[in-house]
C-alpha cells in the first residue's frame, strides 16, 4: 500500500504510528465522499452552536429541558469533532498517519462521548416523562442541583466504562501491524491488529454495549411508552397530535443514533459477511447524523427556540 512507505518498520510491542486507510474499497472516491461529510459537519457546527448561543443568552430558556438540550449540543459538537477533522485530512490531504497515543486518545473520546450522549438522551427522555406524566412535581423533581448532578453522572459514567478500553489496548502486542481499515480509531479496529488473544477486549466491549448502552435503550423505550400512554388519555385530539409528532421525531433521532452504532458494534464481532465499506460508512454516520439532526428535532422543533432563532436572524431583539 502506498501510504505505508513513509512509516518506519516498527516491530516493537506498540507501533509508534498507525495508518488509517479511510473507507476500504473507495480510496478513488475519497475526494468526493468528503464533500457530504464536510457539509454535514458544517451543519452540525452551525446548528449546535446556534442552539448553545440562544439558550445561554436567553434567561427564560434556563429550564430543565433546554439545559439538557445544551448538554446534548455540547456532546454532539465533541462527538463529531473527534473524528471529522482527521477524516477530512485523510480524504483531501492523504494524511493517513496518526500517532499511537493520538489514536488511543481519539478512541477514548469517541467511546466516552458516545456513552455520555446515550446517557443524555436517557436523561432527556426522563425529563419528558416527568413533564408529561407528573407536571405538578416537575419543578421540584428537576431543579438546578439535580440537573447538575445528572449531567455530571452522564460524563463520569462514560469515563469509568471507557477507560478500561485504553488498558485493554495497552496490554496487547502488535508485532508491527499498524494499518487500520477505518477512518478513525475505535476499540475493536485497533484490537484486531494485535498478535495476541483479544478475547478480554471482545467480552468487555460486549458487556459494556449490552449492559450500559443496551440498558439506556430499554429505559428510553420505557419512558416513551409511559409518555404515549399518558398522551392517549388526553381529551384534546390536537394535544394528542402535537405530543405524538414531538415524540415521533424524538424516537426517529434516537433510532438514527443507536441503530448504526449497534450495527457497527456487532459487525466487528459477528458480521464477517458485511462489506467493509458499508460497515465504515455506517460507523461514520452514527457519529455525524445525530449531531446534524438533534438541533432540528430537539431545537427548531421547539416553539420557544424557533421564535428566538427567527428574531436572531431577522435582527430583532
Averaged pLDDT for residues 109-114? 94
Find the mean pLDDT for residues 208-220: 91
Query: How far is the C-alpha of 242 from the C-alpha of 258, rounded, in Å?
Result: 25
Residue 286 has pLDDT above 60, yes or no: yes
pLDDT digits (tens, 9 = 90+) for 305-317: 777 776 766 665 5
pLDDT band at 204 (very low <50, low <70, confident <90, very high): very high
Q: Residue 258: which residues within 8 A CB-CB, separation 6 or more?
A: 118, 213, 217, 286
pTM exceeds cut of 0.85: yes
The two beta strands, 17-20 and 97-99, are antiparallel
- 78-109 pLDDT, tens digit per residue, is 999 999 999 999 999 989 999 999 999 999 99
Average the pLDDT over 154-162 and give the result.
Answer: 95
Distance, first Cα to last Cα, the chain: 57
Between the CA of residue 311 and those of 76, 113, 255, what are the distances in Å?
25, 32, 32
Q: Cell numbers of 300, please?
A: 427548531
Torsion of CA 256, 257, 258, 261, to 10 degrees: 100
Residue 279 pLDDT > 60, yes or no?
A: yes
25 SS3 class: coil
What pLDDT does 160 receive?
95
Judged by DSSP in three states, 19 sits in strand
Measured distance CA(19)–CA(110) in Å, rounded: 18
List the Cα angle 150/153/157 in 5-degree steps: 145
Q: Top-level CATH class of 17-314?
A: mainly alpha
pLDDT for res 134:
86
Locate the domains of the chain by residue range: 17-314
* CB distance 299 to 305 below 8 Å: yes
Q: What is the pLDDT of residue 314?
A: 67
Asked if 190 and 169 touch (Cβ cutoff 8 Å), the reply is: yes
Provide the 3-class DSSP secondary structure of residue 46. Answer: helix
Write the CA distances from 219 to 11, 60, 215, integer angstroms.
46, 30, 6
Question: What is the tens place of the pLDDT at every residue in 131-156?
Answer: 888 888 888 899 888 999 999 999 99
Q: Sorting pLDDT into bands at 50, 70 and 90, what band is 9? A: very low
Amino acid at each position: 500500500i502506498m501510504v505505508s512507505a513513509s512509516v518506519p518498520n516498527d516491530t516493537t510491542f506498540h507501533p509508534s504510528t498507525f495508518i488509517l486507510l479511510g473507507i476500504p474499497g473507495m480510496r478513488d472516491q475519497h475526494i468526493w465522499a468528503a464533500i457530504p461529510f464536510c457539509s454535514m459537519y458544517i451543519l452540525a457546527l452551525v446548528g449546535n452552536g446556534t442552539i448553545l448561543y440562544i439558550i445561554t443568552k436567553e434567561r427564560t430558556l434556563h429550564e430543565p429541558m433546554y439545559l439538557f438540550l445544551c448538554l446534548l449540543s455540547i456532546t454532539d459538537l465533541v462527538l463529531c469533532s473527534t473524528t471529522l477533522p482527521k477524516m477530512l485530512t485523510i480524504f483531501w490531504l492523504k494524511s493517513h498517519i496518526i500517532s499511537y497515543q493520538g489514536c488511543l486518545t481519539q478512541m477514548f473520546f469517541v467511546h466516552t462521548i458516545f456513552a455520555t450522549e446515550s446517557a443524555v438522551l436517557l436523561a432527556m427522555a426522563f425529563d419528558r416523562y416527568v413533564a408529561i406524566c407528573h407536571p405538578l412535581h416537575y419543578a421540584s423533581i428537576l431543579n438546578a442541583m439535580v440537573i447538575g448532578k445528572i449531567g455530571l453522572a452522564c460524563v463520569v459514567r462514560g469515563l469509568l466504562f471507557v477507560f478500561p478500553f485504553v488498558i485493554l489496548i495497552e496490554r496487547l502486542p502488535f508485532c508491527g501491524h499498524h494499518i487500520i481499515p477505518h477512518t478513525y480509531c475505535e476499540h475493536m479496529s485497533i484490537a484486531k491488529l494485535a498478535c495476541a488473544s483479544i478475547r478480554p477486549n471482545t467480552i468487555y466491549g460486549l458487556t459494556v454495549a449490552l449492559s450500559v448502552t443496551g440498558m439506556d435503550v430499554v429505559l428510553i423505550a420505557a419512558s416513551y411508552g409511559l409518555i404515549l400512554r399518558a398522551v392517549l388519555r388526553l381529551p384534546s385530539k390536537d394535544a394528542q397530535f402535537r405530543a405524538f409528532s414531538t415524540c415521533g421525531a424524538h424516537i426517529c433521532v434516537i433510532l438514527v443514533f443507536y441503530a448504526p452504532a449497534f450495527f457497527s458494534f456487532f459487525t466487528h464481532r459477528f458480521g464477517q459477511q458485511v462489506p467493509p465499506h458499508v460497515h465504515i460508512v455506517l460507523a461514520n454516520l452514527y457519529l455525524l447524523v445525530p449531531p446534524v439532526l438533534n438541533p432540528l428535532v430537539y431545537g427548531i422543533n421547539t416553539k420557544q427556540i424557533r421564535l428566538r432563532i427567527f428574531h436572531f436572524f431577522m435582527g430583532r431583539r
